[in-house]
Chain A
Amino acid sequence: MSIFYFIAFLSILFAVLVISAKNPVHSILYLVLTFFTFTIQYILLNAQFLAIVNFIVYMGAILVLFLYTLMLINLNKDSEPVKTNLVKIAAVLGGGCLLVVVVAALKVIGASDPVLFRDPNLGLVKNLGKVLFNEFLLPFEVSSLLLLSAMVGAVLLATKDPKTA
């Protein structure tokens, strides 16, 4: 039980560091740590497939993509744009209001039951694969189409136009 609260504290700490770090590279590294804490949460929930996918896809693929893009973009001139303090305070107030609304809605519900494992094998690859390839076969195929179109779009956008360059 105490593991959950410790990991939750680490998640919040690193998430705050992500948005407050001045250097974007530090932001990305803190985001890696945040996602690692999420992976631990998935393991605690016995969602083993999602833990592995989160580890490989998010930390391995997406964040490396972020790092590579940051290296493509030359930010060495220390021109990190900053907003005025007024806008920052307004933004924190706005986000805090959102949080307050959600927490207040949660208070109305009252105390909830603990998260029990009704089916201990729920998050295993065997179980999820059966659900994925029976009920969700069509969305699964459509998501492959989505990934293909995203790949084509990314290549199309990122390559230089030979006429203008």
Chain B
Amino acid sequence: MESFFKTAQTVPLNHYILLSAIIFSIGVIGVLIRRNAIVIFMSIELMLNSVNLLLTAFSVYRGDATGQVFVFFIMALAAAEVAVGLAIIVMIYRNTNSIDINVLNRLKW
């Protein structure tokens, strides 16, 4: 078990930043190219998770537990956000019979 955890010790911090940046960019691209509201929501989750991973990596790198506590709070926030967001999506679907976000370009009415 101890040797298993040694594997992460040789990974440079830059590579964690790179991985998180790539996943975050994929999330951004997902928000931009999809019109399905649920898939857009999932892309946002992807971005949140990449930031979580980076916070954890920095926390281990600095030997400071604060980063992992932040990740815990981000997870609680994500749970709340998903509950409210999905409720809004369900309500939009009930009113417009679609979850295409282009239907929502008439918010002034």
Measuring CB to CB, which residues of chain A are less than 8 angstroms from any residue of chain B?
Answer: 1-5, 8, 11-12, 15-16, 18-19, 24, 27-28, 31, 34-35, 38, 41-42, 44-47, 49-50, 53-54, 57-58, 61-62, 65-66, 69-70, 72-73, 75, 79-83, 87-88, 90-92, 94-96, 98-99, 102-103, 106, 109, 111-120, 122-123, 127-128, 131-132, 135-136, 139, 143, 146-147, 149-151, 153-155, 157-158, 160
Contacts and interface: CB of A to CB of B under 8 A. Distances in A.
A143 B72 CA distance: 10
Interface in B40-86: 41-43, 45-46, 49, 52-53, 56-57, 59-63, 65-66, 68-69, 71-73, 75-84, 86
Interface of B: 5, 7-19, 21-30, 32-36, 38-39, 41-43, 45-46, 49, 52-53, 56-57, 59-63, 65-66, 68-69, 71-73, 75-84, 86-91, 93-94, 98-100, 102
Contacts of B56: 41-42, 45, 47, 50, 123
7 contacts: A4-B7, A35-B49, A44-B5, A50-B72, A58-B75, A81-B35, A153-B87
A19 B29 contact: yes
A115 B83 contact: no
Contacts of B35: 81-83
A157 B87 contact: yes
Given A1-B11, A15-B22, 10 more contacts: A27-B38, A41-B56, A45-B60, A49-B68, A66-B82, A69-B90, A92-B33, A99-B21, A150-B80, A158-B91
Given A4-B8, A103-B18, A47 B77 contact: no
Query: Sorted from nearest, which 10 A-B pairs have the closest CB atoms?
Result: A118-B63, A91-B32, A19-B30, A150-B80, A95-B29, A157-B87, A99-B25, A81-B35, A154-B87, A158-B87
Contacts of A65: 82-83, 86
